[in-house]
Amino acid sequence: METPLKISTSLLFLSVWVVAAASCKHDIPQINIPQADSTVSAFCNSDTVYFKNTVQPLIQTACAYSGCHDAASHEDDVILDTYTNIINTGKVKAGNPDDSKLYKVITETDSDDIMPPPPNQPLSAAQINIIYNWIMQGAKNNACLQCDTLNVTYSQTIKPIIESLCKTCHNPYMLSGNLILTTYDDVAAIAANGKLVGTITHAPGYVTMPDFADSNKYIGQCQIKQIVKWVNEGYPDN
């Protein structure tokens, strides 16, 4: 279900350049190579806290403003404007919120140490939970594309889902369940007979789809909503 699109072409060029430079000079050039760990998932998993979607906007409004932890003010040398700065100056230990400064200061009970400092409102339990879960999940530099249930079309929404989650098995070579899901007509046929919605919502009397052994590839709530909406609208070929 997760489709990481790593943008690493520029890094490739940079590394080639570093190697070339190192071979003519004898000292190793001091180049800060950016981290290439920002991954974008094609769909949002409701159990995952995404840095770009949720954590960064929260930290931006609660901490990284003028006079506090933006790049210009950097109170206590803490700058919370980018992923790298948040990890380094917020002393975030992936998987260990209680050992992460960022988490400790927002849960601090001493009013002299709590962040954001009074008279600002402390973070709500829900906001603290977001930071906690993000750190527990590895404090990744991740993002996902939001669930859009307004603009659902066959070509932009349904086809990519079928191609990434169903075509592996339902193609002319695999012929799983004697079913091919290649064209619009193929998909429209199982939309019409109820099997598309029945199998993905695990309705009684239907087999459960997609049928992967790897549970990470199961269909997300967002994709289910999008498919159900499209079917209810008469599964248009748009």
> What residue ranges bind ligand HEC (CB under 6 A)?
165-166, 168-170, 176-177, 179, 190, 195-196, 199-200, 207, 209-212, 219
Nearer Cβ to ligand HEC (104/167) = 167
Contact at 8 Å (CB) between 142 and 39?
yes
Contact at 8 Å (CB) between 142 and 53?
no
To ligand HEC, the closest distance from the beta carbon of 233 in angstroms equals 17
To ligand HEC, the closest distance from the beta carbon of 218 in angstroms equals 9
Question: Which among 214, 37, 20 is positioned nearest to 141, based on CA atoms?
Answer: 37
Q: If 0-12 CB within 10 Å is exposed, 13-18 middle and 19+ buried, where does residue 167 land?
A: middle
Nearer Cβ to ligand HEC (91/167) = 167
Q: Dihedral (C-alpha) 234, 211, 224, 142: value to the nearest 10 degrees?
A: -140
To ligand HEC, the closest distance from the beta carbon of 227 in angstroms equals 8
Nearer Cβ to ligand HEC (116/160) = 160
Contact at 8 Å (CB) between 102 and 132?
no
To ligand HEC, the closest distance from the beta carbon of 47 in angstroms equals 19
Q: How far apart are CA 54 and CA 139, in angstroms?
A: 12
Nearer Cβ to ligand HEC (21/207) = 207
Q: How far apart are CA 6 and CA 3, in angstroms?
A: 9
Write the single-letter amino acid at 216.
N
To ligand HEC, the closest distance from the beta carbon of 236 in angstroms equals 18
Q: Dihedral (C-alpha) 136, 138, 141, 146: value to the nearest 10 degrees?
A: -50
Question: Which among 75, 81, 153, 84 is positioned nearest to 116, based on CA atoms?
Answer: 75
To ligand HEC, the closest distance from the beta carbon of 143 in angstroms equals 24
Nearer Cβ to ligand HEC (59/165) = 165
Nearer Cβ to ligand HEC (117/198) = 198
